[in-house]
């Protein structure tokens, strides 16, 4: 009874806030793995739904496909959700593995991306993290040599996607959850990978945490308090530095390197972390942060370095630091475009259209979200164009220039950052540029019998 009472009080406080100007929430989204923790949370949420039926409820199970039991787990989660009267959704994901990316990290990122699809500004995502998880997270941060930001571990509440994430059981021990599950005769799945101590979190869970708890029975509560104190220190630091940080930030989200140079080393590191957090990217390690400053920010003015960690990349352009998600390299890609049909570009870059002037009025309403619209003329009976993403070997004579030159030389003139150059579609005929989409039209193709539209996907 006590566990449900605490859960219910916390959830109703979040769903119906009393602060003026705070929007009330209308949907609870449960991250349901099927393990003990999320199974208990599903049961608690079902009880809460009986008392508060006017909210919307959905359980989302992310199928990683890492275990031969994954299909069984999905079916089991669906059955339990049905029994509890909670709507169920399954999301199948593929992991983005790569250098210096662990399976744990890749699975976590894929899981959160899948969950974000179900979160609106009126949603509250519930996860079943508890005191034991907080202890593991704290010790992993300690092992990495993290400062207060890392040692603050998991927040009870934080922004997530367009909504909020709440960990309502963060101060509950796993033993309390087991007792609740047995009391209510709940069953759950056991992930066999949780026994594999090659994974760091499992090593702490099975080999380290039991020894600590044997010696210091209240270690989980103590760590929870320490993590909360670290979080308070981080909140205070952000409050003190935020105005200074805002002065360095461009409208596009880039950070001024010259102003950063005026800061102390401690303030600079804190501002860089604040910047990455505000832009929605994961925190780098201390060593990675040093590389960002030394190898990117302090690089020679004519250099264009990029530092990558995980799926995050940081580059320098025009005395500013830019951060962006890792992108596919399209420099080897060549497409043949039948221009009477739209061309779907790879890797979420969007769609190209060539619309004749006669059809423009019919198409115009569909292109309100277009990031690029250019006018050009094509020779009669043109049926096909080549689309490439590499400027190498292309001669360009833009319609507003007296002389032509290599397209590769023009991109720096146009202040196109290096990391964007293989993301731009170049329309070519032979080795002559027809159009660099969003940048220029070749002089021989100047005119207005076609509209070239690049309809970009929302990022």
* Model confidence pLDDT, tens digit, residues 333-380: 999 999 889 999 988 888 999 888 777 666 654 554 555 788 888 888
Whether residue 203 is found in the same domain as residue 133: yes
Whether residue 154 is found in the same domain as residue 300: no
Picking from 192, 226, 260, the residue at the C-terminal end of a domain is: 226
320: domain CATH number is 1.20.59.20
pLDDT at 415 (0 to 100)? 87
pLDDT above 60 (res 259): yes
Whether residue 91 is found in the same domain as residue 172: yes
Distance from C-alpha of 61 to C-alpha of 128, rounded to nearest angstrom: 13
pLDDT at 411 (0 to 100)? 93
pLDDT-derived band at 223 (thresholds 50, 70, 90) equals very high
Strands (E), 303-400: 306-309, 312-317, 320-325, 334-338, 343-344, 351-356, 372-376, 384-388, 395-396
Whether residue 176 is found in the same domain as residue 51: yes
Q: Which domain holds residue 320?
A: 249-325
Residue 117 lies in a domain: yes
pLDDT at 101 (0 to 100)? 62
43: domain CATH number is 3.40.50.620
Whether residue 260 is found in the same domain as residue 167: no
Whether residue 137 is found in the same domain as residue 257: no
Residue 350 lies in a domain: yes
Q: Is the entire prediction scored with pTM above 0.75?
A: no
Residue 424 lies in a domain: yes
Whether residue 270 is found in the same domain as residue 342: no
Residue 244 lies in a domain: no
Whether residue 295 is found in the same domain as residue 210: no
Distance from C-alpha of 278 to C-alpha of 245, rounded to nearest angstrom: 10
Whether residue 220 is found in the same domain as residue 109: yes
Distance from C-alpha of 283 to C-alpha of 149, rounded to nearest angstrom: 9
Whether residue 262 is found in the same domain as residue 407: no
pLDDT-derived band at 124 (thresholds 50, 70, 90) equals very high
**Which DSSP string do the residues of 249-275 spell out, in sequence order?**
B-TTS-EEHHHHHTS-HHHHHHHHHHH
Task: Tell the residue number behind the tokens 């146009």, with chain if given.
Answer: 414
Q: How many domains does the chain have?
A: 3
Whether residue 298 is found in the same domain as residue 342: no
Residue 234 lies in a domain: no
pLDDT at 368 (0 to 100)? 47
- Encode pLDDT of 265-301 as tens digits: 999 999 999 999 899 888 888 889 999 999 999 988 7
pLDDT above 80 (res 414): yes
Whether residue 261 is found in the same domain as residue 119: no
């Amino acid at each position: 009874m006590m566990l449900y009472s605490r859960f219910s009080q916390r959830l109703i406080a979040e769903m119906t806030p009393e602060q003026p100007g705070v929007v009330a929430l209308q949907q609870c989204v449960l991250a349901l793995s099927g393990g003990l923790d999320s199974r208990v949370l599903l049961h608690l949420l079902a009880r809460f739904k009986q008392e508060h039926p006017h909210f919307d409820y959905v359980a989302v199970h992310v199928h990683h496909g890492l275990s031969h039991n994954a299909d069984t787990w999905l079916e089991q989660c669906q059955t339990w959700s049905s029994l509890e009267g909670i709507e169920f959704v399954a999301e199948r994901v593929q992991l983005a593995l790569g250098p210096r990316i662990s399976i744990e990290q890749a699975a976590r990122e894929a899981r959160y991306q899948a969950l974000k699809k179900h979160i609106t500004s009126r949603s509250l995502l519930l996860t079943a993290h508890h005191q034991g998880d907080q202890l593991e997270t704290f010790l992993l941060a300690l092992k990495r040599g993290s400062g207060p930001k890392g040692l603050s571990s998991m927040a009870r509440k934080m922004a997530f996607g367009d909504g909020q994430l709440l960990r309502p059981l963060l101060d509950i021990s796993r033993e309390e959850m087991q007792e609740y599950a047995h009391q209510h005769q709940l069953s759950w799945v056991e992930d066999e990978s949780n026994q594999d101590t090659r994974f760091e979190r499992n090593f702490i869970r099975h080999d380290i945490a039991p020894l600590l708890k044997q010696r210091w029975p209240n270690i989980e509560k103590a760590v929870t308090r320490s993590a909360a104190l670290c979080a308070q220190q981080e909140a205070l630091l952000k409050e003190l530095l935020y105005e200074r940080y805002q002065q360095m930030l461009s409208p596009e989200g880039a950070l001024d390197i010259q102003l950063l140079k005026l800061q102390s080393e401690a303030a600079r590191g804190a501002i860089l972390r604040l910047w990455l957090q505000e832009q929605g990217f994961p925190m780098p390690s201390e060593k990675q942060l040093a590389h960002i400053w030394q190898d990117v920010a302090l690089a020679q003015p004519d250099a264009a370095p990029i530092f990558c960690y995980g799926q995050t990349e940081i580059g320098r352009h025009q005395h500013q630091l830019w951060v962006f998600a890792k992108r596919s390299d399209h420099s080897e890609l060549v497409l043949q475009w039948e221009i009477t049909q739209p061309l779907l570009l790879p890797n979420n870059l969007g769609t190209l259209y060539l619309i004749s002037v006669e059809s423009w009025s019919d198409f115009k309403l569909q292109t309100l979200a277009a990031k690029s619209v250019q006018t050009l003329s094509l020779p009669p009976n043109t049926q096909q164009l080549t689309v490439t993403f590499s400027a190498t070997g292309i001669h360009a004579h833009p319609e507003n220039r007296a002389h032509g030159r290599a397209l590769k030389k023009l991109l720096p003139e146009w202040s196109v950052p290096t990391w964007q150059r293989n993301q731009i579609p170049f329309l070519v005929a032979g080795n002559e540029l027809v159009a660099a989409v969003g940048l220029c039209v070749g002089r021989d193709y100047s005119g207005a019998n076609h509209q070239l539209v690049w309809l970009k996907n929302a990022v």
